[in-house]
């Protein structure tokens, strides 16, 4: 079905304008596919680095609606992506819950870790709304400032991934602290997950009410869980969030990103209620093709390091990806976020190549 048909118009038109980004999320392939890039607002852009320096700390930037909106808009001005993604961080949620969160330059986030049931009492879910309101102000500004044809993506971290930081206190290669707590004290861990599910529903619903037209749930560490744990800590909480947000906002599309969970990606797409799945770099194109057969959209999955390298190898992989996936519902993206040393010219090369695509 081509863009502009009556059926599509019904679902992909907002404010009288066709938003191409919504077509694949409504089950419709378009050529060329819509494109955005994870971390498209970020350190690889000199204008981002300037605003970031002005903001002081990273969290200051997240909680300053004018500045957060500004950095969100920067890549839209440069590249005209089909969607902007709210500039924020998945650790805004533990911060809003009252956990101490800071970002150490060059080392990543540091949190006062929650290692046992008693520490959960320190969390204050009832007080989170004030910080969410600031983020939602950014969303509202963005919806005002963005071109009408550009979609705005709101997001949160999935409960499992947010919990790995809350329990571990920092990033790790194996998420051992959270996995350990989930095995050692599943009741306490379930309690933490319940808090995160409820607060994420509130947070995402607020973003939709402020103007986000699509949501993405980032589960960056979904790939470290065995199948039974994946069902408990990835599928079940994601499903609860998707159901609750869709109960309030029935037409809101949700993209899930269970990074590293290739072997359970079909389970994820079939059981969580998401409208699309974002695929990491290691996901074979053949598996992504299989996921499209569920009737839902896939998003991905160029290697961010290949984007750094650029050149003909990047062009070849873009073409290969489009040839494999673009005739079914597909959103062009990376398999993970843009890395800081990416040359902005390579991003332009990527966008131009995708935009010039003809099946």
- Site residues (vs its own copies, CB under 8 A): 171, 173-174, 176, 179-180, 183-184, 186, 223-230, 260-264, 281-287, 301, 303, 305-306, 308-309, 313, 317, 320, 335-336, 339
Q: What distance in Å separates the CA atoms of residue 202 and residue 97, rounded to the nearest whole number?
A: 12
Work out how close the CB of 311 gets to its own copies at its nearest, in angstroms, rounded to a whole number.
8
Look up tokens 């489009």; give the residue: 322
- Beta carbon of residue 302, minimum distance to its own copies (angstroms, whole number): 8
Q: C-beta of 285: minimal distance to its own copies in Å?
A: 6
DSSP 113: -
CB atoms within 10 A of CB 215: 26
- Residues 336 and 332: their CA atoms lie apart, in Å, by 12
Strand stretches in the chain, DSSP E: 13-14, 17-18, 83-85, 101-104, 108-111, 151-157, 214-219, 254-258, 276-278, 297-302, 330-334
Identify the active-site residue in 82, 89, 275, 280.
89
Q: Closest distance between its own copies and the C-beta of residue 223, in Å?
A: 5
Question: Considering 44, 79, 165, 203, which one is annotated as catalytic?
Answer: 165
Closer CB to its own copies, 230 or 257, in the complex: 230
Token representation of residue 6: 């009556």
The set of residues, in sequence order, having a beta carbon less than 8 Å from that of 245 and lying 6+ positions away, is 201, 204, 205, 208, 215, 252, 254
Short-list 238, 233, 242, CA closest to 163: 233
Is residue 43 part of the annotated active site? The answer reads yes
**List of residues 6+ apart from 117 with CB closer than 8 A:** 185, 187, 188, 191
CB of 278 to its own copies, least distance (A): 15
User: Quick one: 212 or 306, whose CB is closer to its own copies?
Assistant: 306
Catalytic residue among 52, 141, 143, 259: 52
Tokens of 135: 């983020």
Q: What is the token pair recorded at 317?
A: 């992989």
Cβ nearer to its own copies, comparing 253 with 304? 304
Among candidate residues 19, 20, 23, 39, the one labeled active-site is 39
Of the two residues 133 and 313, which places its CB atom closer to its own copies in the complex?
313
**Cβ at position 115, least distance to its own copies in Å:** 13
CA distances from 179 to 28, 84, 187, 230 (A): 38, 33, 13, 11
Q: Which is nearer to its own copies, 15 or 226 (CB)?
A: 226
Q: Which of 138, 158, 143 is nearest to 93 (CA)?
A: 158
Does 165 qualify as catalytic in the annotation?
Answer: yes
End-to-end CA distance of the chain: 14
- Asked whether the beta carbons of 17 and 149 are under 8 A apart, the reply is yes
Distance separating alpha carbons of residues 301 and 281, to the nearest angstrom: 5
Q: Which of 105, 241, 236, 119 is nearest to 168 (CA)?
A: 119
Would residue 39 show up in a list of annotated catalytic residues for this protein? yes
What is the SS3 assignment for 101?
strand
Which CB, 63 or 268, lies closer to its own copies?
Answer: 268
Q: How far is the CB of 287 from its own copies (least distance, A)?
A: 5
68 or 178: CB nearest its own copies = 178
Active-site residue flag, 52:
yes
Tell me the catalytic residues.
39, 43, 52, 89, 165
């Amino acid at each position: 079905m081509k863009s502009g048909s009556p059926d599509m118009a019904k679902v992909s038109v907002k404010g009288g304008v066709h938003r191409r980004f919504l077509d694949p999320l409504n089950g419709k392939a378009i050529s060329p596919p819509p494109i955005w890039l994870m971390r498209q607002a970020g350190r690889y852009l000199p204008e981002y680095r300037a605003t970031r320096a002005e903001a002081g700390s990273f969290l200051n930037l997240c909680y300053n609606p004018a500045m957060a909106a500004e950095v969100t808009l920067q890549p839209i001005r440069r590249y005209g992506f089909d969607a902007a993604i709210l500039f924020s961080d998945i650790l805004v949620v533990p911060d809003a819950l009252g956990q101490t969160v800071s970002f150490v330059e060059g080392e990543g986030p540091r949190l006062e870790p929650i290692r046992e049931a008693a520490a959960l009492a320190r969390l204050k879910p009832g007080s989170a709304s004030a910080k969410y309101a600031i983020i939602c102000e950014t969303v509202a500004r963005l919806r005002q400032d963005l071109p009408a044809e550009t979609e705005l993506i709101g997001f949160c971290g999935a409960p499992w991934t947010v919990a790995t930081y809350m329990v571990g206190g920092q990033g790790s290669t194996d998420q051992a602290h959270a996995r350990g707590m989930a095995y050692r004290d599943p009741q306490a861990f379930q309690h933490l997950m319940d808090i995160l599910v409820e607060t994420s529903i509130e947070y995402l619903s607020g973003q939709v009410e402020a103007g986000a037209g699509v949501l993405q749930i980032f589960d960056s560490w979904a790939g470290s869980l065995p199948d039974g744990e994946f069902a408990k800590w990835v599928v079940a909480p994601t499903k609860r969030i998707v159901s609750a947000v869709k109960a309030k906002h029935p037409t809101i599309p949700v993209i899930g990103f269970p990074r590293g969970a290739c072997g359970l990606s079909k389970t994820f797409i079939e059981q969580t209620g998401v409208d699309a799945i974002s695929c990491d770099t290691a996901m074979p194109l053949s598996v992504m093709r299989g996921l499209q057969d569920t009737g839902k959209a896939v998003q991905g999955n160029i290697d961010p390091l290949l984007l750094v390298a650029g050149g003909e190898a990047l062009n070849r992989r873009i073409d290969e990806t489009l040839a494999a996936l673009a005739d079914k519902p597909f959103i062009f993206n990376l398999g993970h976020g843009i890395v800081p040393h990416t040359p902005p010219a390579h991003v332009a090369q990527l966008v131009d190549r995708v935009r010039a695509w003809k099946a």
